[in-house]
Structure 1
Amino acid sequence: MEGIKKIYINSDGGAWIKEGMNQLGSIEYVLDEFHLSKYVLKMTSHMLDSKEDARVGVCKIIRDGTKKEFDEIVERLEGCAKTESQLKRIQEAAKYIKNNWTAAKRRLWRRNGVCACSAEGHVSHVLSSRMSTLALGWSRLGASKMARLREWHYNKNSMLELVRSQQVR
């Protein structure tokens, strides 16, 4: 680790990740793309025709602005909320972003070797789409095997070749 200048951790900001970073030393936390996008979408989904402009504005303020400016745009978004649930969604998303402010800024700056990580999106797309769509219960063994099958499939490997390579029991 002596030759490594800086380590960035792409994360959702979970306490266990932050604690692990404290244990390891000079690691910088970067809010992962999946979670930042999720919460920006939560804040702006009620904006109908102007939601794309609102998303761009929110991201610009996170990247270049201050928490005070962020609070101001949050107030404007809250002013456009038509229901209590929309208001609650905006407030929850804003709280999450403010709790991960520096990490969100790092994500949007994209400087000094900070790069995106698609792990969360892949987990959601590859595993959750198959394993949680239906009300299914999975054993550890079954879940592990299904995860490997999904990985095999999404890495463009032949399922037929996999079957042919299996030992007959």
Structure 2
Amino acid sequence: SLDLKAKLLENATHMSYHRSAQHGGPARQSSSTVMHVVHEKGKLITALDQLNHEKRQAPMVLFVEADEDHVAHQDGTSHFLKMVYVHEGYDQRCPGRFSIKEPVYVTGEYPGPIGTEELWRTVKDLIDAKYQGEPNQFFLAGDGANWIKAGADFLPNCTLVYDKFHLKKTCQQAAVGIPGNIGLILMQGCLQGERKYLEDYFQVRLSDPQLRMTERKTIQQARTRIRSNWSSIKANTDSSFHGCSAEGHISHVLSERFSSRPMGWSQAGTDSLSQTRVFVMQNGHVLEKLNMVNQKIQKTKRKIRVDDRISVLFKADQEKYASAVNGAFVALKRGQGRMWQRALMRGHGDPWGYPSVK
């Protein structure tokens, strides 16, 4: 039944397929049953289902944050499970704790360049469906990955931000082999725009003959990331930017279900269940959504059946009129039609008074 499928799907968003089957009801279900429900019904829930109110006026600034989780697949490979969320800023609940205002989420694997384009088009459609008008500015924050930078092509007046969490991690890698807090000093230099100081530091470190090969490679990678994201690093100091919480969202929304324990997934499973998990966390009702989809399907089927009956009646009428026309044409050929056709072909004029064709 549809209510059992909805319960199994909702349970699977926060527990394993096996436990979801055990909590499905008095009838014993299997893990495979839950998997089939996730693949079949989970894909019906989209990012737009998070919107449960009319359009609201777009704020002056919208914040877009993006990151990915590394999820193990059944074939032994690791795939990116991406997440992008849009919000209107932060509210401080208590000292040191904040919540984001009006968040909406888009998540899934979206592999390759085509998947990246589809992801950002979905984000843009979600923004257009939620807001009237365009904000004056977008801030797009993340770890500087190419798929995140591609979002700037879809968001007008967009400022890319290399978030402080990944900047701190990169600066710590740049300080490998040196004790103390040199990583924090490098991070402060990046935020203050002291590029010459950073370049001098890398030049001295990489010219050290005693530097081990692994350390050299780590430092070179850190230098490349800082260079390629320099303008995005400086954007952290913009007075309108409030920070980035993407890493915490990945841990809470995705990693807790998809990568915190040894599991093997398929793309169909991660795509369907990740967006459904977000839907449930946004207080969405799975059974209500599946009922709406089922009603639309039944309405479409009824329309098709009516169209089929109309087509059958039209075909019967068409055949009846075709038979009448064919009969009239045969009668015409047997009578005077033959006379004027022969007259035109022989050039003797028309027996009814029309001039002949030369």
Partner SS for 1:47: coil
- Return 5+ residue gaps in structure 1 as ranges: 156-169
Over 3 Å counting, the alpha-carbon distance change for 1:130 and 1:89 in structure 2 is: farther
C-alpha separation between the residues in 2 aligned to 1:126 and 1:24?
Answer: 24
1:34-59 Cα offsets, whole Å, 9 max, x none, are: 321221121123222x2x1x122212
In the TM superposition, residue 125 of structure 1 has moved relative to its aligned partner by 6.2
Whether 2:161 is the aligned partner of 1:11: answer: no
Indicate yes or no: 2:251 matched with 1:120: no
2:352 maps to what in 1? none
One-letter code of the match for 2:190? I
Match of 1:75 in 2: 203
For residue 87 of structure 1, report the CA deviation from its aligned partner.
1.1
Which residue of the partner structure matches residue 87 of structure 1? 216
Pairing 1:39–2:167 present: no
Query: Distance between the aligned counterparts of 2:159 and 2:260, measured in 1?
Result: 35
- TM-score normalised by the chain length of structure 1: 0.68
Q: TM-score normalized by structure 2?
A: 0.35
1:81 and 1:87 in contact (8 A); partners too: no
1:113 CA displacement:
1.5
Question: How far is 1:84 from its partner?
Answer: 0.8
Distance 1:135 1:68 in 2: 45
Decide whether aligned partners of structure 1 residues 41 and 87 sit closer, same or farther in structure 2, where only a CA change above 3 A counts. same
- Structure having the higher helix fraction is 1
Which of 258, 280, 285 is matched with 1:131 structurally? Answer: 258
Residue 214 of structure 2 aligns with an amino acid whose one-letter code is S
**Alignment CA distance shift 1:16-1:33 (3 Å):** same
Determine the C-alpha separation between the residues in 2 that align with 1:129 and 1:93: 29
Moved more, 15-24 or 123-132: 123-132
In 2, Cα distance between equivalents of 1:67 and 1:74: 11
How has the CA–CA distance of structure 1 residues 88 and 129 changed in structure 2, closer, same or farther, with 3 Å as cutoff? farther
Question: Whole-Å Cα distance in 2 between the matches of residues 90 and 130 of structure 1?
Answer: 34
- What's the secondary structure of 1:24's corresponding residue? coil
Q: Percent identity?
A: 28
In the alignment, the residues of structure 1 paired with residue 147 and residue 210 of structure 2 have an alpha-carbon distance, to the nearest angstrom, of 34
Residue 99 of structure 1, aligned match among 211, 228, 246: 228
Q: Deviations over 1:6-43 (max 9, x none)?
A: 22111222333333313332110111233212211211
Tell me whether 37-46 or 126-135 shows the greater mean CA deviation.
126-135
2:188 to 60, 74, 96: 60
Partner residue, 2:151:
20
Structure 2 residues without counterparts, runs of 5 or longer:
1-57, 59-132, 283-358
* Number of residue equivalences: 148
Q: In the alignment, is the contact (CA less than 8 A) between 1:43 and 1:77 conserved in 2?
A: no
In structure 2, distance between residues paired with 1:8 and 1:25: 10
The one-letter amino acid of 2:193's match is G
Contact 1:34–1:121, Cα closer than 8 Å, also in 2: no
What secondary structure does 1:112 align onto?
A: coil
How has the CA–CA distance of structure 1 residues 47 and 29 changed in structure 2, closer, same or farther, with 3 Å as cutoff? same
Asked if structure 1 preserves the Cα contact closer than 8 Å seen for 2:186 and 2:198, the reply is: yes
Residues 123-132 or 94-103, more deviating = 123-132
CA displacement at 1:98 relative to structure 2: 0.8
